[in-house]
Structure 1
Amino acid sequence: MTIFESTSEVPLGAETTFDWHARPGALTRLSPHWAQEIVEESYPPIAPGSVAQVKTSVPGTYGLVRRPFSSVHSEGPSRFSFVDELKKGPLSQWKHTHEFTSVAGGTKIDDHIEFSMAPQGFDVIDRGLTHYLEATFDARRKRMLMDIDFLESTNAPLLARKKGKHILIAGGSGMIGRQVAALFSTAGHFVRLLVRETPKFPYEVHWNPNLGILNPRDLAWADAVVHLGGRSIATRFTKHAKDEIWSSRIDSTRLLVETMRGLPEAKRPSVFVCASAVGYYGAKADEPVDESGPAGEGFLAEVCQKWEETAAGVEDAGIRRVSIRTGVVLTSLGGLLKLQAPLFLAGAGGRLGSGEQALAWISLDDVARSYVHAVLYDYVRGPVNAVAPELVTQAEFAEALAGHLRRPAWIPTPGFITEIMLGRDGAKELALADQRVVPEKLQETGYQFAHPTLRDCFDEELGGGA
């Protein structure tokens, strides 16, 4: 058996720190994306007998190879503590005790782990895992401090000891939606998720936009409605795929809008924040474009225009509307970065196409925080570009990624390869799109980026390969 210990401090009282860990979404927010992917948090969080299911990364893979790991919670040795122990996973033993103690200026967090990864006699493997745990807990500390700063900047109910808002989220089980829900929940707001399947947890409520099923009482409960639903666009643009991409966005948004409009004025949510995309501007932009820029041409531009037009239908009912035009979200949990990083690790990475086209990107944390920002501040209205302030080309992106992974970027991906994967229209509007988009409105409304540069983003999303 090997023992690992880590100590850190946060500028919150012990009770508040414990309460943060005990809220839904805490594990999602605390976990470095390169270290583990949350499959299902325990519910109630950290309650004795509850089980958390994750996919933990294999050391040295930058989060690109993961294995299932589940743990069961039990009571800790003191008032502000809890324990999780291995239920199933690639270890022979794991017991993690979390303890929170008041100190001058905040709380000391002690993490004590007893583990064994291999049969006796393979101590070198356990020593390697110890190094990996050191990197993981350093990243956990940074993530929690980052979130505390964000909560303080938004006067979060958990910290201000006030009642939180009621937040209803459609698409909350997706990659972005999980982070948005977790940010709201750990801040002290009350979150419910609209789900298409039979609800499993008390915070889930059923809807089926394909059949027009949505209970108006669920919308009347909400102070804010957030819509992140929609079929993935990372596919070949066949007629069937286009129809699904269109209907999954427009029809579901129309159902939400019409239901909110049908509520008595006093029962209506105050704000509707709906997803959109930088595809609104089309696949070609010669100059940097902000939210005042004209709509472009192409299938995705048409989808985004209709999507935003449909969402804006709530404005006649006195509901503030925000459309988040999201860029390419960079995270090791999915999307472009997860697809390209393995090629670079294998020494086969490089720019897409000519490499001259601009990449409108944003980190997963920043896109999630932009939704929270849009909900909480009344002066955020209309379209908002959710992109990082650092404009880069595909060639610059490839060089930065190769540098972080300590690999070459010698092998470009020709345009015809992306056409084979995505079809001609998909390649043009996705992989080879030239989108010089700037976050004018986010910056004007005081948003502070967590990861303003690619280097910041790669450090967060890929770690150092520990």
Structure 2
Amino acid sequence: MGLKHSSVVAAPRDEVFAWHQRPGAVVRLTPPWMPVTIKQEATDLSDGVAVLGFPLGFDWIARHSSAVVPERFVDELDTPLVRNVVKWRHTHSFAAEGDSATRISDEIDSNVPGFLLRSMLEYRHRQLADDLAARQRAVAAGMRPLTVAVTGAHGTIGTALTALLSTVGHTVIKLVRRPATNPDERQWDPANPAPALLEGVDAVIHLAGASIAGRFTAAHKRGLRESRIGPTRALASLAAATDGGPSVFVSASAIGYYGSDRHDDVLTEESERGSGFLANLVDDWEQASEPASAGGLRVVRVRTGLVQTPAGGVLKVQFPLFAAGLGGRLGSGDQWQAWIGIDDLLDIYHRALYDPNLSGPVNAVAPSPVRNREYAATLARVLHRPALVPVPSFGPQLILGAEGARELAEASQRVVPARLEELGHTFRYPDLEGALRHLLGKA
């Protein structure tokens, strides 16, 4: 029993093969709906080992071999005992189609039923094509290889972003709070970062911060502020003070800046700040990066909307409910939701590194915000399920408290990416249904 899948990408074969050799390739190609943790990537396609962690402590060990650059490589299951039961040999082939295109072919010889693998292969091919296209746009716009320091690198967004950055050719240094254990890590103290922390670094991407999700108690709100304001100011100050250090400082931010209910107002980067706890928090968070601006760095503040990925965030919570046919609108369903697919968010962070025209606040949202009832109907349609079970407004209040429900679950923000659209930015998935189909393997 086996499965074959083939497609053509608009990139030279040498470039396509080199992409697969870089750190992060396995992360970028692993579907986000799969319950997999990448424990180890192969450092050599001729004789390397990748380890994928599955639930219940099961590790899938894949040994690479038979590499012929730039034509093919093979990975085979090498997990003790399991390899006597599960058959797996995956041949990756690359054939040049002219000077600027490559036919990618995956052939899997396995006793795993093919229908379980087809959506995975379709996702991998689409993801690779999109990543290569994004890289080509960046190169055409003047991108050069950089050394990028990233905080929050092991979160949902950070894991995906560091993989994207390394596969397009950047060197990534992960700033971690524990002692560094790998050459690509440096330990940092958010309250008092070491003076040499950013030496040799061209750019900083600052993602770290406690999760906003949770009941809005005094302790939770204090934790949100303490994890953002002080560490951002300390890192921005260090970036400005490091001789020969970063020239770009990119900081996470949020559309909570605009307040929880702006009715039908179309919100751009020029719109005034809203009111409420999150609006105040985000404003202070953005101001905390001001030392970098004062030091002459180009500063980009990425005001992120509702990130779509089944690996985390709101979609991770809603996916199983809608898949079981238990999903529906929240309350009236009239509230606006400014969303963005995770890969489009990564492209925005990447663009912030190399595009000198991008500075200040940037709305990281898709160009087509939707009302909550449309979001629910679209997700249900993608999953071939009804959306008939509305969530009463008191539901989120039980989990988040009245203030948290008002500022998160019931927030209505019709935010648009005006600055990116001015620059002619290309979105991989400008419409919600296309994004959800790709992310959930329903293409």
Global fold match (TM > 0.5): yes
2:89 to 67, 92, 95: 95
Structure 1 counterpart of 2:75, one-letter code: D
Q: Is the Cα contact below 8 Å between 1:324 and 1:385 reproduced in 2?
A: yes
Q: CA 1:86 to 1:43, structure 2 compared with 1: closer, same or farther past 3 Å? A: closer
Matching of residues 110-259 of structure 1 within 5 Å: 110-117=105-112, 126=113, 130-155=114-139, 164-210=145-191, 212=192, 214-259=193-238
CA shift for structure 1 position 363? 0.6
Quote the Cα distance in structure 2 between the aligned partners of 1:36 and 1:109.
25
CA shift for structure 1 position 436? 1.2
Alignment correspondent of 1:269? 246
Quote the Cα distance in structure 1 between the aligned partners of 2:423 and 2:197.
30
CA shift for structure 1 position 135? 2.6
CA shift for structure 1 position 4? 2.3
Alignment correspondent of 1:79? 69
Q: CA RMSD in A?
A: 2.3
Alignment correspondent of 1:296? 274
Q: Is the Cα contact below 8 Å between 1:192 and 1:205 reproduced in 2?
A: yes
CA shift for structure 1 position 180? 1.7
Structure 1 counterpart of 2:293, one-letter code: E
Alignment correspondent of 1:16? 15
Alignment correspondent of 1:31? 30
Q: CA 1:321 to 1:68, structure 2 compared with 1: closer, same or farther past 3 Å? A: farther
Quote the Cα distance in structure 1 between the aligned partners of 2:348 and 2:36.
21
Structure 2 counterpart of 1:72, one-letter code: A
Quote the Cα distance in structure 1 between the aligned partners of 2:368 and 2:440.
19
Quote the Cα distance in structure 1 between the aligned partners of 2:105 and 2:48.
22
Structure 2 counterpart of 1:456, one-letter code: G
Does the residue aligned with 2:274 lie in a helix, a strand or coil? coil
Quote the Cα distance in structure 2 between the aligned partners of 1:258 and 1:330.
32
TM superposition score normalised by structure 1: 0.88
2:314 to 336, 352, 357: 336
Does the residue aligned with 1:300 lie in a helix, a strand or coil? helix
List gaps (5 residues or longer) in structure 1: 57-65, 118-125
Quote the Cα distance in structure 1 between the aligned partners of 2:442 and 2:269.
35
CA shift for structure 1 position 43? 4.9
Hey, which bits of structure 1, 4+ residues long, moved more than 6 A?
Answer: none
Q: CA 1:156 to 1:172, structure 2 compared with 1: closer, same or farther past 3 Å? A: farther
How many residues in Structure 1 have an aligned counterpart in Structure 2? 437
CA shift for structure 1 position 175? 1.0
Percent same amino acid at aligned positions?
Answer: 38
Quote the Cα distance in structure 2 between the aligned partners of 1:156 and 1:406.
40
List gaps (5 residues or longer) in structure 2: none
CA shift for structure 1 position 261? 2.5
Q: Is the Cα contact below 8 Å between 2:27 and 2:160 reproduced in 1?
A: yes
Does 1:324 pair with 2:302? Answer: yes
Quote the Cα distance in structure 1 between the aligned partners of 2:53 and 2:441.
18
Does 1:413 pair with 2:412? Answer: no
Q: Is the Cα contact below 8 Å between 1:22 and 1:46 reproduced in 2?
A: yes
TM superposition score normalised by structure 2: 0.92
